[in-house]
Amino acid sequence: MNESISNDVERFDAIVIGAGVAGLYFHYRLRKLGLSVRGFEAGSGVGGTWYWNRYPGARFDSESYSYGYSFSQEILDEWQWSEHFSGQPENERYLNFVADKFDLRRDIHFNARVASAVFDSVNRIWRVETESGERASARFLIQATGVLSAPYIPTIEGADHYRGETWHTSTWPRRAVDLSDKRVGVIGTGATAVQMITEISKNIGDLTVFQRTPNYCKPLFNSKITPEEQINIKASYPEMFARCNSTFGGFLHDFDERKVFDVSAEERTAFYEKTWNEKGFAFWLGCFSDILTDVAANETVAEFVRKKIRERVNDPEVAELLAPKCHPFGTKRQPMESGYYEAYNRENVHLIDLHKTPIERFTEKGLQTTDKEYEFDIVIYATGFDAVTGALTRIDIRGENGAVLKDRWHESPSAYLGMCTVGFPNMFITGGPHNSSSFCNIPRCLEQNVEWITDCIAYMQAHGHTRIEANQDAEDAWTDFVLKSADETLLTKVDNWFMGSNIPGKKRVFLNYVGGVPLFRERCDESAANGYAGFTLA
Ligand code: NA7
């Protein structure tokens, strides 16, 4: 973008990309600082994840009351969650309620997908342009683009020739979709597919699921919140949020200090049975402390889950296909289900093992595997996301000396404290690589990210700084710490979005952060308390 064009570009203190959980809170906080803000959002409304992911069955896997914002007592007082694990429509309504309450839409341009962001080092500003050519510039560029927001659709030969409809779960049509007389194919069996298959299987013509890797799914045990529970929830918000800030993953659940083989086999099974019957992630994140580090320990819990699966699926062959054997339990974000396995007991639901009969190509009528042709009216991609980095690398982001973020992160994505990366001054990232929010009860970590970043901006203003950049040595040390702590777990031994290895050609490297939420907060606070140690402010 050249200077002459940029002269008529509107100038702001900050540009916020994204209007989901983090983006909305940024608007609230930056406005309180008295900053002028322009928001750009690709969707036509607020909500981010909860705007896009409107597939049937989409709902929280965190307890609703632990997911909502904690920063405003008014929100906590006025909003009532109706279910322990609220569904997408209510979640989207909630974020709209927050946007209305604080008049947050006023600075946001919708249907505005950012195409490029270029740092002008002379003026120390970012120049941003949307796909439709709208331009703006600002001192600070804030990426609130989400952890799981860049949909991944695999390349399958012949896709152009297929005459039926296709869509990705995250772009489920906004119109009403009636599948009652449709032949539907679903590719993928991750957490999204598990929720969706359960729901659509209840009223569908015929459903064929193409599975590459089965998952260890656990019952969610969702229910309506009773009036008594509502009173208790409202009364215990302070303790609940304090607990979330103290647990490993920012959830209400935390690991049991004991190790698997500290207890007898009977005690172990009783413990598994108890946590299995509790809500949400109790079974995964409330399990023995060594299940994510010790293969033998992990196998005890994995076998417990396989047994549960076998008990619920009528056809033993299908049950075996659904019982994971090739990766340890809990090394992928655990899908929560509400009748997933029973879906396969329906006569019109079929499971195809892609290891045995891979998809070869699309035909005009459907999908051809090495075994046969399946005819479909609709094929749904439940194939996940180019997670953590994808939303950022899909934007042409150029920092100091024309450095391209996509190239810079090609070999090894890195960001100091997961929030700033060398060579990209005045750019703050939430939900990016090596940030706590990627392995977290996401809003708990995003709230911390937003507060830390806006405090940092306030500090810069108070001290007359116009430029901040992460230091190379601080970023290297952080990257090293994150990768080493991940390597001590089983999480790096599997292939999934945590490792970027779900995307062909993407470098296999740990993208998340598993040092625990309390330690992350501590490290961020430490840096801030020391005048933003690890950063250069000018
Ligand atoms: P996931 O967890 O990445 O799941 C994607 C699914 O799609 C998974 O079963 C993949 O199999 C499958 N997949 C991906 N590409 C292909 C191809 N080419 N062929 C067949 N199957 C394929 O995404 P989700 O949306 O379910 O969940 C993402 C997160 O959202 C989740 O972690 C929760 O935090 C919420 P694979 O396992 O790679 O063999």
Residue ranges covered by each domain of the chain = 3-46+104-150+386-537, 218-381
Of ligand 1's listed atoms, the one at least distance from the Cα of 189 is: 9
Residue 7 confidence (pLDDT): 55
Q: Ligand 1 centroid vs 213 CA: distance in angstroms?
A: 9
Exposure letters 398-432 (e unless 16+ CB within 10 A, then b): bbeeeeebeebbeeebbbbbbbbbbbbbbbbbbbb
**From 50, 212, 331, 497, mutation site for ligand 1 pocket: most ligand atoms within 8 A of C-beta:** 212
**From 192, 325, 336, mutation site for ligand 1 pocket: most ligand atoms within 8 A of C-beta:** 192
CA quadruple 323, 326, 328, 330: dihedral sign:
negative
CA–CA separation, 464 and 496 (whole Å): 44
Exposure letters 290-318 (e unless 16+ CB within 10 A, then b): bbbebeebbebbbebbbebbeebbeeeeb
CA quadruple 448, 33, 102, 77: dihedral sign:
positive
Q: Ligand 1 centroid vs 150 CA: distance in angstroms?
A: 13
Q: Can you read off the two tokens belonging to residue 433?
A: 């690589």
Q: 3-state DSSP call for residue 462?
A: helix
Name the fold adopted by 3-46+104-150+386-537.
Answer: FAD/NAD(P)-binding domain (3.50.50)
pTM over 0.95: yes
Q: Ligand 1 centroid vs 192 CA: distance in angstroms?
A: 8
Note down pLDDT in tens along the chain; length 538 residues.
333 344 579 999 999 999 999 999 999 999 999 999 999 999 999 999 999 999 999 999 999 999 999 999 999 999 999 999 999 999 999 999 999 999 999 999 999 999 999 999 999 999 999 999 999 999 999 999 999 999 999 999 999 999 999 999 999 999 999 999 999 999 999 999 999 999 999 999 999 999 999 999 999 999 999 999 999 999 999 999 999 999 999 999 999 999 999 999 999 999 999 999 999 999 999 999 999 999 999 999 999 999 999 999 999 999 999 999 999 999 999 999 999 999 999 999 999 999 999 999 999 999 999 999 999 999 999 999 999 999 999 999 999 999 999 999 999 999 999 999 999 999 999 999 999 998 999 999 999 999 999 999 999 999 999 999 999 999 999 999 999 999 999 999 999 999 999 999 999 999 999 999 999 999 999 999 999 999 999 9
Q: Ligand 1 centroid vs 383 CA: distance in angstroms?
A: 4
Atom 24 of ligand 1 has which residue's CA nearest to it?
384
Atom 34 of ligand 1 has which residue's CA nearest to it?
333
Residue 298 confidence (pLDDT): 98
Q: Ligand 1 centroid vs 503 CA: distance in angstroms?
A: 10
Q: Ligand 1 centroid vs 533 CA: distance in angstroms?
A: 38
Q: Ligand 1 centroid vs 227 CA: distance in angstroms?
A: 37
Burial class (CB within 10 angstroms; exposed 0-12, middle 13-18, buried 19+) of 456: buried
Q: Ligand 1 centroid vs 211 CA: distance in angstroms?
A: 10
Atom 14 of ligand 1 has which residue's CA nearest to it?
383
Of ligand 1's listed atoms, the one at least distance from the Cα of 354 is: 20
Residues 18, 455, 437: CA angle, nearest 5 degrees: 50
Q: 3-state DSSP call for residue 160?
A: helix
Of ligand 1's listed atoms, the one at least distance from the Cα of 495 is: 38
Atom 15 of ligand 1 has which residue's CA nearest to it?
383
Q: Ligand 1 centroid vs 336 CA: distance in angstroms?
A: 14
CA–CA separation, 524 and 425 (whole Å): 18
Ligand 1 binding pocket (C-beta < 6 A) is 148, 154, 187-193, 210, 212-213, 333, 354, 382-384, 497, 502
Atom 26 of ligand 1 has which residue's CA nearest to it?
190
Where is 518: in which H helix or E strand? helix 517-529
Of ligand 1's listed atoms, the one at least distance from the Cα of 193 is: 26
DSSP assignment string, 398-434: E-GGG-BHHHHHHH----BTTTB-TT-TTEEESS-TT
* Contact assessment for residue 393 and residue 416, using Cβ atoms and an 8 Å cutoff: no
- Residue closest to 299 by CA, chosen among 290, 311, 309: 290
Cα 176 to its chain centre, rounded Å, is 26
Residue 1 confidence (pLDDT): 36
Of ligand 1's listed atoms, the one at least distance from the Cα of 154 is: 18
Q: Can you read off the two tokens belonging to residue 130?
A: 């949307």
Of ligand 1's listed atoms, the one at least distance from the Cα of 333 is: 32
